Structure formats: C-alpha cells, structure tokens
C-alpha cells in the first residue's frame, strides 16, 4: 500500500518509524556498551585509589599497578576484618537498613544519614607481604553534593599518604578546587594524631600558619568555598573518628606499636597475608 507522504497520516507514520528505529539504536548502544562502562568505572575507581595512595604516575598501566593492592573488608564497629562477597558494594549497603546503621543527629557530622556496617579497605602490599599504604573510602556532604573519595595512610597508621575525591558536584573553581593538585598536594605527610593520641587532623578556614605546632595536622581551606571546606573537614573527622574507621585504626596502631606481639591476634595486622 502506497503512503501519501504529503498527508498528515503519512507524516505521522514516517515520524513514528524514525523514532522507533532511533530508539532501537539507542537502546542497543546502551545495553551493548554497559559492560564497557562498568569496566571503565572499575578502572576509574582503581586509578583514584592509586592516585590517593600516591602510587600512580602518568602513563602507568592501572591494572598492573593495582595488582599490588589487596581489597579487604572491615566491620566498622569492631574494627576487625570480615569476609564479604566480591560484589559487595559499600555505597549500596549504606542505603540498605539491614546492612547499615542510622546515624543520630550529632553523630552524623558528614551528613550521610546511614553508615555501612562493613567498609572496604585497600592495602598496598610489598613483596614481603607487608602493608605499605592503607587506603580508606570516605564520603560526606559539601555544599551541593556528597563527595566520594579516598584517604591513604602510611604503614605507621598516622602519616597521610594522600587524599582525593572521584565524585562530587561542587562548583568548579570554588568547592571543585578539592581536585586541584596543589590543594591535594598538602595532604601527604600530615599527621592524623597528636602526641596524646587524639585525632587532630583538620581542614581549617584560611591558610595554615606553618610556625604553629598544629601545622603538621592542618590543611588550608578552599578559598571562597567555606562550606565545601567545612564539609571536607567534617567527613575526614567522621571517617577517621569513632563512628568511622576509628576502631580499625586503633587496632592497626596497636599492632604497629607492638610488632613483637603480632600474631597473638591475627584478625587485624599490618601483614596483609593474615
Ligand atoms: C554560583 C555559586 C556557587 C558556589 N559554589 C560554592 C561551592 O562549591 N562551595 C562553597 O563552599 N561555596 C560555594 N559558593 C559560595 C558560598 O555560597 C559561600 O559564599 C562561601 O562558601 C563562603 O562562605 P563564607 O562567606 O561564610 O566564608 C558558591 C556561590 C555561588 C554564588
């Protein structure tokens, strides 16, 4: 049956056919490219972990470099390692009431509402099986968005190896300066704990006074982005504090301080093989 192209019905039929054909192409592309997108997401996360740990140099093969990294799971309440399935997703768990804990008002300084019961940690391990860098996921609210990233610690469980965010929607040039290599460059070498063993790391408003005793624990705020700065400080306090990785860090620090007794309790140790 011939269609009169100049009629209203002819125009509608052509329009519908074009829509259908385009729809099939778009759907096929979306489904067909999903495995590639998933693979790229994994690669991007791995790159961010390596960058936060200071283990990435331009041009490096991310997969090869990541072979030195072990993924472990930590029960945040006890600080002990636990077994979890490979496909465990901490961000999904944080939304599941059966796999997360609701945070009360004053506990929720990072404004995340729920904290997963089990968190991933990444350990950079040397040839002898000893942990060199501990990489912890962190997240919290800035001004416009929840920032997701990693903080990396040296094996002394006190010195920062690096910090970086792989996802946020803060304003470029303001809160978005969390991605500025110059700002991120301040983190390596900073000390988490003071001489009394209290968590002392902080992101301050303004510039660090380098002559101050506290300078070793302080990072400059972001110029013109006080709210993102406060958000980053809050999320660092949360994840390194009592309701975050505090119990895990305390156990690692006890291990690091008493290597002679290492092995008495191998549930948390700086040797990654246990
Ligand atoms: C369009 C626009 C985007 C902004 N983005 C951010 C941002 O990403 N992070 C932030 O902390 N402040 C941002 N600000 C600025 C805040 O509104 C606020 O003025 C700033 O954090 C300084 O706060 P203070 O005056 O208390 O120091 C933005 C302001 C405007 C107008």
Centre of ligand 1 from the C-alpha of residue 162, in Å: 25
- Using the mean position of ligand 1's atoms as its centre, give its distance from the Cα of residue 227 in Å: 7
Contact 178, 232 (CB under 8 A): yes
pLDDT in tens, 29-72: 888 888 888 888 889 999 999 999 999 998 899 999 999 899 99
CB proximity list for 40: less than 8 A, separation 6 or greater: none
Phi, psi (deg, nearest 5) at residue 81: -70, 145
- Residue 251 phi/psi, 5-degree rounding, is -70, -40
User: What ligand 1 atom has the least distance to the C-alpha of 231?
Assistant: 11
Q: Does 1 or 243 have the greater pLDDT score?
A: 243
Residues 6+ apart with CB under 8 A from 45: 166
The answer to whether residues 179 and 167 touch, using CB atoms and an 8 Å cutoff, is: no
Report which ligand 1 atom has the smallest distance to the Cα of 205: 27
* Residue owning tokens 């400059």: 220
Average pLDDT over residues 145-150: 97
- Ligand 1 lined by 143 (C-beta under 6 Å): yes
Instruction: Check pocket membership of 175 for ligand 1, CB cut-off 6 A.
Output: yes
Closest C-alpha to 67, from 12, 21, 126, 110: 126
Q: What is the pLDDT of residues 109-135, one digit of tens each?
A: 999 999 999 999 999 999 898 999 999
Cβ of residue 171 lying under 6 Å from some atom of ligand 1: yes
| CA of 173 relative to ligand 1 center, distance in Å | 10
pLDDT of residue 1: 60
Q: Does the CB atom of residue 177 touch ligand 1 within 6 A?
A: no
What is the chain's mean pLDDT, rounded? 91
Q: Using most ligand atoms within 8 A of CB, pick from 224, 230, 231 the residue to mutate for ligand 1.
A: 224
Question: Does the Cβ of 145 fall within 6 Å of ligand 1?
Answer: no
Residue 233 near ligand 1, beta carbon < 6 Å: no
- Return the ligand 1 atom nearest residue 229 CA: 11
| Domain residue limits, the chain | 1-67, 68-261
Going from the Cα of 223 to the center of ligand 1, the distance in angstroms, rounded, reads 9
pLDDT of 260 above 60: no
User: What pLDDT, in 10s, does the model give residues 203-241?
Assistant: 999 999 999 999 999 999 999 999 999 999 999 999 999
Residue with tokens 């056919």: 17
Whether the CB of 111 sits within 6 Å of ligand 1: no
Predicted local confidence at residue 103, as pLDDT: 96
- Rounded to the nearest angstrom, the distance between the alpha carbon of 226 and the centre of ligand 1 is 7
């Amino acid at each position: 049956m011939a269609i009169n192209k100049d009629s209203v019905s002819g125009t509608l039929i052509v329009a519908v056919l074009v829509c259908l054909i385009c729809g099939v192409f778009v759907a096929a592309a979306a489904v067909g490219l999903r495995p590639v997108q998933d693979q790229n997401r994994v690669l991007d996360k791995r790159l961010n972990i390596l960058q936060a740990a200071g283990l990435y140099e331009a041009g490096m093969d991310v997969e090869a470099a990541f072979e030195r990294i072990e993924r472990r799971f930590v029960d945040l309440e006890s600080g002990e390692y636990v077994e979890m399935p490979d496909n465990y997703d901490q961000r999904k768990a944080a939304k599941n009431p059966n796999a997360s804990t609701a945070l009360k008002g004053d506990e929720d300084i990072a404004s995340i509402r729920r904290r997963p019961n089990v968190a991933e940690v990444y350990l950079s391990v040397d040839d002898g099986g000893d942990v060199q860098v501990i990489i912890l996921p962190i997240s919290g609210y800035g001004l416009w968005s929840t920032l997701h990233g990693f903080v990396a610690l040296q094996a002394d469980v006190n010195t920062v190896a690096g910090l970086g965010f792989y996802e946020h929607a803060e304003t470029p040039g303001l809160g978005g300066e969390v991605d500025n290599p110059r700002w991120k460059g301040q983190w390596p070498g900073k000390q988490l704990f003071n001489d009394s063993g209290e968590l002392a790391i902080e992101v301050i408003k303004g510039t660090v006074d380098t002559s101050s005793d506290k300078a070793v624990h302080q990072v400059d705020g972001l110029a013109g982005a006080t709210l993102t700065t406060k958000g980053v400080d809050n999320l660092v306090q949360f994840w390194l504090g009592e309701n975050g990785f505090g119990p895990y860090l305390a156990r690692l620090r006890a291990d690091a301080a008493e290597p002679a007794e290492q092995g008495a309790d191998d549930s948390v140790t700086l040797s990654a093989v246990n």
